[in-house]
């Protein structure tokens, strides 16, 4: 499967240089996140990543 990295970048995903890893940029309205938002972010990080949110 060929990935279009330019399209991924538009969606907030950025490929890490020299590694098979991506970061996901999150955008919030005024920096506001609910506890439910944070739980969902943590769940996604655990399922698709290394379980880290930085």
**pLDDT one digit per residue (tens) for the chain, 54 residues:** 677 888 888 888 888 887 778 888 888 999 999 999 999 999 999 998 888 888
53 in a structural domain: no
Residue 54 counted as domain residue: no
Domain with 32, as residue range(s), is 5-48
Distance CA(43)–CA(29), nearest Å, equals 21
Q: What is the pTM of this model?
A: 0.68
Counted domains in the chain: 1
Name which of 19, 17, 52, 53 is nearest 33 in CA terms.
53
Element (H or E) spanning 24, and its range? strand 22-24
Identify whether 24 is part of a domain. Answer: yes
Tokens 């949110």, residue located = 53
End-to-end CA distance of the chain, in Å? Answer: 29
Residue 17 lies in a domain: yes
Q: Tell me if 40 is assigned to some domain.
A: yes
Question: Which residue in 25, 5, 7 sits closest to 15, CA to CA?
Answer: 5
């Amino acid at each position: 499967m060929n990935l279009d990295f330019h399209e991924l970048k538009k969606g907030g995903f950025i490929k890490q240089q020299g590694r098979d890893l991506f970061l996901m940029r999150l955008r919030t309205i005024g920096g506001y996140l609910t506890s439910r938002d944070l739980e969902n972010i943590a769940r996604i990080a655990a399922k698709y990543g290394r379980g880290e949110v930085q």
